[in-house]
Structure 1
Amino acid sequence: MDVSSSLQQQRIIVEQLRREAAVDRQTVSESCAAMIRYITQHEQEDYLLTGFTSQKVNPFREKSSCTWHRIA
């Protein structure tokens, strides 16, 4: 590896580190509070909590019964 490519690689790393250092950070407690707030606000839309109004709107229902045919 020559010096110019090594220098270019180091510049790329420094730029990446500068971008990472500029990222806005939140404390864990702030992030948890925001997640709890979001979950609480959207729990009525969560089918895992409320279930489906009918099986017709359930995308996970079995489409058809499983059948097998005996080949003679």
Structure 2
Amino acid sequence: MINNLEKGCSILSKEEIMEYISSAALRSQNVKLDTYSFLVGMAYEIKKRPLDAQTLEELSSIANKNSIS
């Protein structure tokens, strides 16, 4: 699931993804990499800016792939 996110989302690096997941784990938060709304919220929180249409499309595709896995 993390590999799908790393390879499928052009604006997020592996380091940013892992840092976010680590912080979420420390706060005992659920990480749902198979949910579009979670991925959008995560990317927005990491980048601190609105996401463009291409990124939203990438995140939708990633959520679909991760929900099948």
Larger Rg: 1
Q: Which has the higher contact order (CA 8 A, sep 6+)?
A: 2
TM-score normalised to the size of structure 1? 0.26
Normalized per residue, which structure has more helix? 2
TM-score normalised to the size of structure 2? 0.27
